[in-house]
Structure 1
Amino acid sequence: MTDAAVDLDSRPTKIMYVAEATAHGGREGYVTSQDGQLELKVAMPPALGGDGDGTNPEQLFAAGFSSCFHNALVLVGRREGFDLSGSTVAAKVGIGPNKQRGYGLAVALSVSLPVLDQDVASKLVDAAHQVCPYSNATRGNIEVTILLG
């Protein structure tokens, strides 16, 4: 399935890796990856009426986005000659109803670059936001706020 509104410049020119995962039972079941590396119980969080006895899609998205963004940040930093040891990226993913009677997401990324001054850190974060596949996938689709601290 392709989306006609996709920014053609953000699409990959070559697929280098494909991840495969299968959901069993939706938000009250489990997820597995094709290679067996991932097998997790999924449960609705208490805020959405569940018991919270398992992970949920928002936590998985937060883990994916934060690790991917952090990797992009380290890559950009290395290209510019900076060692980003000790840096971290934390993600918060919120879910709630939208105006189309469905649900939408919002993301807040908190970036810590303790060894860099604010101007350099800000430039690296902006560059990482252009490189990160999650940033490119969500740009224009969901609200992504980046906090530099």
Structure 2
Amino acid sequence: MAPPASLLDRYRGSTFEPVYATKVTVTGGEARHGRASGKVRSDDGELELDLRLPVVMGGEGGGTNPEQLFAAGYGACFHGALSLLATKHRIAIPDLSVEVEVAFGRDPIDGQHTLTAHVMVRLPGLELKVAQELVRATERICPYAKLVRQGIVSSVRVLV
């Protein structure tokens, strides 16, 4: 069942109001390195995965990695937001697909690492202008698109 278009209703509060929250724990696995051999588990048990370093990065493969998880989350969120907008505007897009390419690489600014993300939206049968307007509107409301464009409120705490 698709979520209601009412999720698009504007919030008028003065502080962040969570609608849903989740917690995921990553442990290191046999290599004691989350990225290379980690285990991922959500607090409700619905997500349980093995993390593995991709072969091209010197790993053995055989599991997912943070880039795939980020791409999946970004793609699912963008697809969902676009679907809600289309429903609200009574635009039928039965064959909508969203492909997200995430790359992990060297950052020329600080010499360390960074990510890039590129979204490709397929809207077969839709007039180009309508498709472009719908995608631009989605970029403004999709939380992942907002995250990659303007950052996110975050914190890092140490627990011992």
Give the TM bin, normalised by the shorter chain.
0.7 to 0.9
Ranges in structure 1 where 5+ consecutive residues have no aligned partner: 1-10, 142-149
CA deviations on 1:60-84 (whole Å, 9 max, x unpaired) are 0010000000001011111221022
Letter in 1 for 2:87: R
Q: CA deviation at 1:119?
A: 0.6
Q: In structure 2, how many angstroms separate the alpha carbons of the residues matched to 1:74 and 1:125? A: 10
CA RMSD of aligned residues (A): 1.5
Q: CA deviation at 1:12?
A: 7.0
Letter in 2 for 1:136: K
The residue that corresponds to 1:134 in the other structure is 144
Q: Where do residues 103-118 of structure 1 align in structure 2 (5 Å cutoff)?
A: 103-118=113-128
% identity of equivalent residues: 39
- How many equivalent residue pairs? 131
Q: Where do residues 28-47 of structure 1 align in structure 2 (5 Å cutoff)?
A: 28-47=37-56
TM-score w.r.t. structure 1 length?
A: 0.83
Which is bigger in relative contact order (C-alpha 8 A, separation at least 6)? 1
Q: In structure 2, how many angstroms separate the alpha carbons of the residues matched to 1:122 and 1:135? A: 15
In our comparison, the structure showing a higher alpha carbon Rg is: 2
2:112 corresponds, among 102, 111, 130, to 102
TM-score w.r.t. structure 2 length?
A: 0.78
Q: CA deviation at 1:102?
A: 2.1
